[in-house]
A = this chain, B = another copy of it.
């Protein structure tokens, strides 16, 4: 009997389905997933990092997904694979009970006449869809979303709830957008007019590729002239700010609270740490990692890992050293003088 989320799955079935090597009772059944520390004897756990080796030895899980190097320490049945985290992710997906969205338009939604909403799309309670918007097949809008003028939502794309697409936003297929995200707001363009600011019209849009994910309360402004662009499979965590005309390459991921200023161009396969910043008009090449809270102040042309900032210290030590930071140029000159035999 093949498994399902209710009946659970046999270990041999999981091993075959996900290309894993089973060590232990093939008929053992798992009904869910859990952590090494908390999983019950009916749940599957995983270990992707050897720092959890102590937890592995004490686990009461039904089975553990792990790498070959750790299998010997596993006190329970093991599902062994080259990439245990990925295998775990795929197994866990079997147990995710996402409520099926019902095609159709909730009675409380406001759909302006002229809006092009596919019959297989699901428009939740209290959504607003503008006259010039398009919602493709299988798209799902959770409650309280807004799809504004000249916006398009691609097939199978899902706006979880209370997402705002303000103006000229085109989302690809299978995009996932979390609550509170605002896409297509005005870029921050100002021209100084001698005694006041004048607004620079923001005439571009936002273009998001397929399979992107956009976190809660993240903002992506539309471009001033050309579009702000996310290529395919870009992953944005929560509270990220993407300014106008930024371009982010495919498969790049940004952690929470990162910010990218106007017209910066970030390559493919980059990883940007939490609360990091990238200044405007810079270029970051492919395969660059930026550590958390780093400020990127110049373009990066070589793949690799980059950082700025200072180490954490207790406040007394930090204060003592921080005073010296303000003297650093002077200290360097004093070293040079000493080297010349002329101490000041």
Contacts and interface: CB of A to CB of B under 8 A. Distances in A.
Interface of A: 33-35, 38, 83, 85-86, 88-90, 92-93, 95-96, 99, 106, 108, 110, 125-126, 128, 143-144, 146, 148-149, 160-162, 164, 166, 176, 178-180, 182, 185-186, 188-193, 196-201, 203, 211, 213, 215-217, 219, 221, 225-226, 233, 235, 237-239, 241, 243, 251, 253, 255-257, 259, 261, 274-275, 277, 279, 289, 291-298, 302, 304-329, 331-332, 334-335, 338-339, 341, 343-344
**What number of copies of this chain does the assembly contain?**
3
B35 A251 contact: no
A324 B328 contact: yes
Contact of A307 (B203, B257, B312, B343): B312
A155 B28 CA distance: 43
Contacts of A277: 257, 274-275, 292-293
Contact of A160 (B166, B178, B321): B166
Q: What 7 A-B pairs have minimum CB-CB distances, sorted nearest first? A: A305-B315, A185-B216, A307-B318, A339-B343, A182-B216, A321-B328, A324-B328
Nearest to A193: B86
Contact of A217 (B128, B149, B219, B293): B219
